[in-house]
Chain A
């Protein structure tokens, strides 16, 4: 059986353990609540985390690219990028997969699995930086975009156009 088939067969076990490990990156009292399988609108972090992890597992049992990995990682990283994690804490959940693999896979599969986890990790760094850049851009341009644009339309300010102030691109 190849690694992808093995992962597919053990998907629910991987998902259960990976979800648990990810939720445990939150303080204990929070993890207790965020880890509940509640209505997705009552517990968005739990629900989105679970979905995101499942999508990533589905992806690596099939064909995937850096781009498709980033897309699958987007919902979970988008959340972790605005929580009080530092960069390493925000993406640490990916590395938990290696340890989970050790308990499920045999050695030869584990050797194939580790580089896959590395690829997920690299994609998660990319996604994390993109989310942070979006946040910085929102910080830099929000008030200008809201207030300055209205003033500019009214002809109350004339020197600089909105685009000059916003820089190269919209987030």
Chain B
């Protein structure tokens, strides 16, 4: 055991020399760098949502085309939010700048930019709060040099640009909050900052256009109902070719037991499409074996909610359609697909936003009798909880050997792990459909999981350098298990992860492929009446079937 320091020795280690200069000047005045920022929201998308100041603008240009009274709008916006949200007020006041969060952010660890330390990123906004809203700040601002002494600064255009740049370098993953002794949720500070940006028309396009699409057509990609159905029909054909079983789903079926909603990424983007096929196979199995009646909806065709990254009102608008559809169809409860932020919205905000959903029943798995107590009020259950429950009660026939070529590790999505405590169910499912499961190091998983670096609407193309830098801590752990255990598969339960981690792996660990958990379930599930399976859902030979 190491020798404990005496008090005198400990004091000797403290550097009593105050640092010269202001901590806010750790980097030069903000320079918006290509590769690190996202393009501005298209005017049309902002207009569709009825949000203020729709116009073309470019973050690299000097003039951001703000309304003349932008300072007044933002001041009023901060004031309203301080009064309305106690968390915001507390988080503005309570930080003691202990620095426990400083080295916990994937963006700080990856970019090496000090203003990405959560404490400093939040301080960018706190300094404005302190200057304009605290008594000490107001008094100090009247004496020369007083503002700097109190850590305050007026909201100038340069400050606004800096806020914008750095609050779009936060994925709201909340890893920092795990380490904060006060429980400050930096994600909520980012959420507030982004709400404020929207008051003066400063959203990014990767958020605004999906939100606008979702508002108009029901999903982020703006795919219309017939195309949604075409895609699922196509999956049905593929599954039939692989298994010989027709898994055609129901759409908008009134009186079905369960409404199933998944992120549109599962329907339209690889490799989520294979996860989607896994869902279709599971529902077919449950229908044939137990008569469970699951319906899809082309109206509620999006589980994700980019409104969450815009403002609470916008989040509420998008969330409402899922419940409206459940009500219209008269289902008992809602089953949700593998998604991340969708679950944060459901678990943390839905109930006070659009809930309680008392027109639905408390979710009970009709096959096992399990009551999903955690969803008693929201009436919405995550599919890995549902599948884990089925497996636990021996309700699924599974052939693990079909996944024996997958050496897998599991990435906890920030939102499902820290946002709702879904930690063991996905692992339980994986261990029942695969034999070769290896955990990444303990300081990179479960509650301490590292973000994919592309969450909260930052999964754009133009900020690829930022995304890859933010992905480094996650990739570093994936690479470790790849080298140590031969891991070739990164499992995840989040649609953004499936897209983002695929790109992360291409850059950092190209030998590893990304899989959704229900893709692995689909491979292992023995469907009633299936033909001899020789291919997995990617139409590659199953282990041992390479010659056939």
In the complex the two chains form, what is the Cα distance from A42 to B268 in whole Å?
35
Closest to A84 in B: B33
In the complex the two chains form, what is the Cα distance from A28 to B120 in whole Å?
14
In chain B, residues 214-233, which have Cβ atoms closer than 8 Å to a Cβ of chain A? 221, 227, 230-231
Q: Indicate if the CB atoms of A83 and B103 lie closer than 8 Å.
A: no
Tell which of A60-68, A116-124, A152-160 binds the partner: A152-160
Subset of 16 A-B contacts with CB under 8 Å? A27-B112, A41-B480, A43-B109, A44-B109, A79-B472, A82-B465, A83-B469, A84-B111, A138-B468, A138-B507, A146-B270, A146-B502, A147-B221, A153-B273, A155-B234, A156-B227
Answer whether A84 and B36 are a contact pair too, CB < 8 Å, given A156-B227, A171-B506.
Answer: yes
Chain B residues with CB under 8 Å of A145's CB are: 270
B297 to chain A, nearest CB (A): 19
In the complex the two chains form, what is the Cα distance from A51 to B464 in whole Å?
25
With an 8 A cutoff between CB atoms, is B209 at the interface? no
With an 8 A cutoff between CB atoms, is B426 at the interface? no
Interface band, chain A? 35 or more
Answer whether A156 and B230 are a contact pair too, CB < 8 Å, given A44-B476, A149-B270.
Answer: yes
With an 8 A cutoff between CB atoms, is B374 at the interface? no
Tell which of A10-18, A32-40, A92-100, A106-114 binds the partner: A32-40
With an 8 A cutoff between CB atoms, is B355 at the interface? no
With an 8 A cutoff between CB atoms, is B102 at the interface? yes
With an 8 A cutoff between CB atoms, is A168 at the interface? no
In the complex the two chains form, what is the Cα distance from A39 to B442 in whole Å?
12
Q: How many A-B residue pairs have CB under 8 A?
A: 118
A73 to chain B, nearest CB (A): 16
Chain B residues with CB under 8 Å of A153's CB are: 234, 238, 273
With an 8 A cutoff between CB atoms, is B114 at the interface? yes
Answer whether A150 and B268 are a contact pair too, CB < 8 Å, given A79-B472, A135-B464, A143-B461.
Answer: yes
In the complex the two chains form, what is the Cα distance from A138 to B109 in whole Å?
22
Chain A residues with CB under 8 Å of B441's CB are: 41
With an 8 A cutoff between CB atoms, is A9 at the interface? no
Q: Indicate if the CB atoms of B231 and A150 lie closer than 8 Å.
A: yes
* Most chain B CB within a 10 A radius of its CB, from A26, A134, A142, A149: A142
In the complex the two chains form, what is the Cα distance from A48 to B506 in whole Å?
19
Chain A residues with CB under 8 Å of B477's CB are: 41
Q: Indicate if the CB atoms of A27 and B268 lie closer than 8 Å.
A: no
With an 8 A cutoff between CB atoms, is A163 at the interface? no
Chain A residues with CB under 8 Å of B114's CB are: 27-30
With an 8 A cutoff between CB atoms, is B26 at the interface? yes
